Structure 1
Amino acid sequence: MRRGLALYCLGQLAAAAGGALHLVTTADRFESRILPMQLSAFYWGHNLRVLGMSSHPEYDPGNGDLWGRKLGWKLLSVLRFAKGVPDEDVILFVDAFDVLLLDPPAAFLEKFARIAHRTGARLVAAAEQNPGFRASDHPNQTHRWRYLNSGAMIGTSAAWRKLMRDPPPAMLPERYVGDQDWIIDVYLNTSALGGLMRLDAECELFQVTCRVSPVLSHGSCPPSHDAVVVEGRGVKNVVTGTHPSLLHLPGPGHWPIPLPLLGSTGRFQSCHYYEVARVLLPEVILPLESARAWSGKPYSMICTDDSLVNRVVLDTLLWASIRAGPLGALLFCLWVLRARLCKSRAPTIGVHPHAV
C-alpha cells in the first residue's frame, strides 16, 4: 500500500512535468499469445492501444507473413500514432506476444522522468545481453545489457517522431532482418539521436531475458541468463539491483516447452512466458484455466498459437468420438492428423524476427 501510494505521488509529479502515458502495441490480427500482455496491462491500470488491426492504404503490409523486412509496417503504425499525440505525451511501445507489464502507469512515468532528468534522454530502449545486428558498434556499458532491443521503448511523442524523421519503408531494405535492425542503424548512425536516445542498460524500466528464476524455463535459454529472480509480485535484477517495470521474454522465453519437462506442473504443454505470468499475475491468469471457453488449457493456445476455435472444435470432436465408439475414435485421430499437417504447412504470422 505504501509503495503504491509513493508510486502514485511520483507519477503525478512526473505527469505534471510532462504529458500523459500511452501504451501501444502492434498486431495485424488477434492471437491468443497477446492475452498475458493484455491482462498484465489491464491488471495494472493501463489503457492499451493495439495498432494495425484495421487496414490503412499508406501502411498496408500487403499479403503474406507480417514479419522480417515487412515489419517496417510496425514502425509506420507507431509513427502514425505519434503524429496524433502532443509533443510531451509519453508513448510506451511494447511487443505484443512476449511482454508482461509489472507496474502501473505512474511507475513508468516516474522512472522515465528520472532517467530523462539524469541523462537528458527523451527516448529509452530496452537493452539485452545477446549480441545482434551491428553488435561490435554498440558502446560498452557498466553491465552486460548493452545491445538495443526494440521490444520495449518509451519516449515523448516528439522523440518518436525524430527517430522516424526519415520514415522507413513498409518493406525494409535487404540488409535488415526486421524493424529492430532499422532502429539500431538510426541509433548508431545518429549518435543516439544526438543524445536524445539511450539504452536502459541498468534495467530500471525494462528487463530482457529468457529466464526468471525459479520459474520453469526452456532448456535452450543460455545459462548466462541468470540475473532475474521473482521477488514479491515483481522481479529483481540481482546484478544491477533494480526492479524492472516490464519483462520482455523473447526467443526461448516464449517457446513451447517440450512435454518431458512438464512432469511437475500437471499441464501437458506450456512456456516460460505463461508460467511467469501465472506466478506474477495469478488473479488474472489462473481464472483462464477454469474458463470453459479455454477448455482448461489456455497455456496451450498462448504458447503454441493454437486458435481458440480450433481448441473448442477439437474438444467437441473428442467428446463426440468417445460417444461414437471405435469408428468415431478413428475418425477423430484422422481429423487431428490432417489439422496438424495443415498447421505445419501454414506460414507463421506476426512473429518478431529476433524472437524466432
Structure 2
Amino acid sequence: MAVLWVLALGGVLTCGTAMMQTIKGTSELLVVTVATEETDGLRRLKRTADVNGIKLKVFGMGEQWQGGNTRIEQGGGQKIRILRKSLEKYKDRNDLIILFVDAYDVIFLDNEEQILRKFFTFFDGFRVVFSSEPFCWPNKNLAPKYPLVNFGYRYLNSGVFMGFAPEIWNLISYKDVEDSEDDQLYYTHLYLNEEIRLSMKMTLDSMSILFQNLNGASGDVKLEVSDEGSGAYFVSNFFIPPAVDEDEFCWIYNFVYNTYPLVIHGNGPSKLHLNHLGNYIDPLRTVPTKTESITTAGTFACKLISGNLAIEGNEKGNPVKWLNDSSIDIEKNDLPKLFLSIIISKPIPFIREFFENIEKLVYSDDKIDLYIYCNQIFMEKEIRRFIEIGKRRYRSLLYDDSATELSEREARAFSLKQSLSLDSDYLIMIDGDVHLNKSEALLLMVQTMNKNNLGILAPLVGQPQKLFTNFWGAISGNGYYARSENYLNIIGRKEVGIWNVPFICSILVIAKEKLTPLLNAHYYDEKLDPDMSFCSFARDNGHFLHLENNHYCGFLVISEDVASSKVHPEMYEIFNNKELWEKKYIHPYYFAALNGSVSIPEICQDVYDFPLMSERFCAELIEECEYYGKWSDGKHKDERLVGGYENVPTRDIHMKQIDFERHWLYMLDEYVRPIQEKLFIGYYKQPVESVMMFVVRYKPEEQASLRPHHDASTYSIDIALNKRGIDYEGGGVHFLRYNCTFDADAVGHSMIFPGRLTHLHEGLETTRGTRYIAVSFINP
C-alpha cells in the first residue's frame, strides 16, 4: 500500500511513494564540496558521509586559498571557480542531482536515498533548492527584494544547495566571479532576478526540510533522543524524520517548522553549536541498555548511561564507572615519542605529590623528553629533588626556574616549538595542579589519540566533589565560561565519549601535525590568559578541541587562596584539598584506630593514647611556630586572653597567632571528636568548641616543666610533636590522682583525657633539648 505525503509548498502539491520508486531507479546523487586544506571540520564531514554511505567528492584540495577569511568578512568566490572547473563534465546530465555543501561546518544526518526522497517529494517542480536562513547576508539592503514566504526562513544561504546538473552548471557559470568576491552575494543576485529564478526554477528550503542553517536559528532546533530506534518512516503534517536503525537514536528536530533536516550547517557564529550537536548526531552513536557495560561505539561515540550523578571519579568507592583500562593494547616498541611539558605558573599546593605521580607514570622513559617551567621560588626544592631522579631517567630534561626571564605564555609557546624541533609524536602539556594518579594515564591518552585520529585532546579532570573541571561546554557572549546543558552529565559521566568542546585547559595532548599551525596560538590574543588565547585561536581556525571522559586519569588540585606567605602552605589546605591533606598529615594508623582494627591503649585511668597526626605535620607545625617566633614569656599576664590573665602559664603560641585557628577547630571536630565518642560513650557535642589551642615549648633554660593543674575543658588532648632521645630528654605527664606517669613521646600520638575535675596532672621536667606539644582544651 502506497504511503502519501502531502505538503503545501509555494502553492505546489507533491506526493509520493510510486513516484519515488521511479526516481530511485533513474536519478543519481553527486555530493560535492570545495576544500583547499584538510581540517578537522572536513574530516568530520567525510566521516559522516562515510557512515551514511554518501560518496563525497572534494574539489580544490591543495590549491592556495584566495577567497578571504570568510569567518569575519565577505569572500569565497574561489569556491565558484573551483566548482565550475570540476563540474563542467556533468553539465548535460539530466539524470544527475548535485548536492553542494560547505566543507568545514556541515554534518550529514542521513543517506543519499533519503536526501533524494525528500528532494523529489517536497520540491517537485523545482530544479534548484537553496538552504535558507533568517538573516539577509552579506548585504542586508537586499532584504526588501526577496520574495515573501508564507512560512519559514526568507533569505538564501549558499552553504548548502542542490539541484539538477544542468541548472547547477548554469548557476555557477552564469558570469565570471573573482576569488575574493562573495559567493553568497553571487547566488543572491541570481535568485533575486525573477527571470533567472523562474527560468532555473529556484526555490528556498524555507522550513528546513532538507537543510538546517544554525545561525539565527539555533533556538529553533533541539536534539531528539529515543531509547529505541523506530526503524520506520512516518508522516505527521509537514515532516518526515530520518529513517532510524535500531542502534541509532538521535536526530535534529526543528520544532518551529516541525521538520527533521538531513544536512546541518553551522554557518557564521553558529559553529560551536554545530560542534555541540555533532557530539550527538554522529550515526555511530548507540544507546547501551541498563545492564550494558560502558564501551565506546567508535569515533566520537558519546553515550547516555543510566546512574546517579557523581561529580568526581576516584579510587575510593565513588559510584562513577570508568572504562576498563585492560583495553590498552599498545606494544612497548610502538610507543610514540612524547614531549612532556610541565607548567607551574602560580602557587600550587602538594607539588611533591604531583611529581610523585609523574614518577609513577607507566611509559618508556627513553621515549620521553621532559621540560619543566616553574616561576615559583618556594617550589624549587621539590622540583630539584625530582630533577635529580629525572635527569638519569628521561631521554632529555630541561628546566626553566624562577630566575629565568620567561613568562608563562612564552613557556607554553616554547613547549610547542621544542616538541616540533625534537620531532615528538605528541606534546603533552600538563599544569602543576593536575594530579595524574592513574599510572596508565599517558598510555590511555596516547591510545585515545591514535585510535581516533585526534589532533588535540584533554582527558577530563576535575576538583573532587566540586563542579570545576578543565573544560567549558559553552562560551558566553563575552568569550568566557557558560554552562552547557550537558555539562553536569559529562562530568558526572551520565554521558561518556569524546566531546568537541570550546575550551580545554590544564592538561592537553597535541599531535605532531597540529604543532606548526598552533605555534603562535598562545599569542593570538594577548589580552587573554595563554590557555584562553590558545583555545580562541583553535576555535577561530577550525582546530577541534576534544575532551575525553571514558577513562579516569586524575584530578585537579584546588590552587586558589594558597597560603604562600606561610612556611608550609599545604598545612593550611584542609578545606580546599582535604583528601591530599589527610593523606599527608593524618597519622597512617588513625583510621585503623577509629574503626577498631588497631587498639587504643588506656595508659592511665581514663587516659588514652591514639595515633592522630603524621610526623610530617608535627615537624611542619613546629617550623611554622618557630618561623612566627612570638612565643609567650610564661608569665601570668597574657594579653592574648580575655581578661589578660593566665592561671597556669606556659611558653606557647596560639593557633590563632599563626592563622590556624579555623583549621585546627575543624581538625578537632573531624578527627578528634569521633575518637572521643568511641572512647567516652554517651558524651556527644558537635561541633566541638575550643578557645585554648596552642603549641607549648619546653626548654631547660626557659620553662622546663609545668606545675599540677586541671585543664579548663570537658576533655583535653596533648599531641607529641618531636622525638624523645633525639630532640630532647625528660618530659612526660604525671596524673597525680592515679599516681600514673606516661612518657607521651610517640610523635603524632595524642593523649585524650577528661579535664576540670578528675585528672589533675603536671608536665614533667625536660632536661635537655626542646620538647614541643600541641594542646587543646575542648568544650570548656
TM-score interval (norm. to shorter): 0.5 to 0.7
In 2, are the aligned partners of 1:66 and 1:349 still within 8 Å (CA)? no
1:156 corresponds, among 143, 156, 164, to 164
Structure 1 counterpart of 2:644:
none
1:201 corresponds, among 196, 206, 210, to 206
Alignment of 1:169-180 (within 5 A): 169-171=177-179, 178-180=182-184
What are the ranges of 5 or more consecutive residues in structure 2 without an aligned counterpart? 1-15, 226-249, 286-295, 302-335, 342-367, 373-389, 391-396, 415-518, 526-536, 543-780
Cα deviations by residue, 1:40-85 (Å, 9 ceiling, x for unpaired): 1111110111110144xxxx765x8464665222012222232112
Following superposition, the deviation at residue 116 of structure 1 comes to 3.7
Following superposition, the deviation at residue 189 of structure 1 comes to 1.6
The residue type equivalent to 1:130 in the other structure is F
Structure 1 counterpart of 2:115:
108
1:234 corresponds, among 230, 233, 251, to 251
The residue type equivalent to 1:228 in the other structure is V
1:336 corresponds, among 412, 415, 418, to 412
Structure 1 residues 273 and 32, CA, compared in 2 at 3 Å: closer, same or farther?
same
* SS of 1:148 mapped into structure 2: strand
Between stretches 320-329 and 100-109, larger displacement belongs to 320-329
Q: Does 1:273 align with 2:277?
A: no
Structure 2 counterpart of 1:354:
none
1:327 corresponds, among 400, 405, 409, to 400
Identity of aligned residues (%): 24
In 1, are the aligned partners of 2:81 and 2:179 still within 8 Å (CA)? no
Structure 2 counterpart of 1:316:
339
1:38 corresponds, among 35, 46, 50, to 46
Following superposition, the deviation at residue 184 of structure 1 comes to 0.2
Structure 1 residues 344 and 168, CA, compared in 2 at 3 Å: closer, same or farther?
farther
C-alpha distance in structure 2 between counterparts of 1:75 and 1:139, whole Å: 24
In 2, are the aligned partners of 1:28 and 1:52 still within 8 Å (CA)? yes
C-alpha distance in structure 2 between counterparts of 1:88 and 1:97, whole Å: 28
Cα deviations by residue, 1:1-57 (Å, 9 ceiling, x for unpaired): xxxxxx99986542324x2111111111111222222211111110111110144xx
In 1, are the aligned partners of 2:218 and 2:270 still within 8 Å (CA)? no
The residue type equivalent to 1:106 in the other structure is E
Cα deviations by residue, 1:171-228 (Å, 9 ceiling, x for unpaired): 355xxxx100110001112441425110001211011114xxxxxxxxxxx6x64221
* SS of 1:79 mapped into structure 2: helix
Larger relative strand fraction:
2
Q: Does 1:186 align with 2:190?
A: yes
Following superposition, the deviation at residue 230 of structure 1 comes to 1.2
The residue type equivalent to 1:344 in the other structure is Y
* SS of 2:148 mapped into structure 1: coil
C-alpha distance in structure 2 between counterparts of 1:184 and 1:253, whole Å: 21
Larger relative helix fraction:
1
Q: How many residues align?
A: 284
For normalisation by structure 1, the TM-score amounts to 0.68
The residue type equivalent to 1:198 in the other structure is T
Structure 2 counterpart of 1:137:
145
* SS of 1:83 mapped into structure 2: helix
Structure 1 residues 10 and 96, CA, compared in 2 at 3 Å: closer, same or farther?
farther
C-alpha distance in structure 2 between counterparts of 1:314 and 1:185, whole Å: 54
Between stretches 327-336 and 235-244, larger displacement belongs to 327-336
1:15 corresponds, among 6, 20, 24, to 24
Following superposition, the deviation at residue 165 of structure 1 comes to 3.8
Structure 1 counterpart of 2:622:
none
The residue type equivalent to 2:339 in the other structure is T
* SS of 2:121 mapped into structure 1: helix
Cα deviations by residue, 1:68-108 (Å, 9 ceiling, x for unpaired): 66522201222223211223211110011111111110011
2:36 corresponds, among 19, 22, 28, to 28
Q: Does 1:75 align with 2:92?
A: no
Larger Cα-atom Rg = 2
1:253 corresponds, among 270, 283, 292, to 270
Point out which structure has higher relative CO (alpha carbons under 8 A, 6+ apart).
Answer: 1
C-alpha distance in structure 2 between counterparts of 1:282 and 1:333, whole Å: 40
In 2, are the aligned partners of 1:150 and 1:180 still within 8 Å (CA)? yes
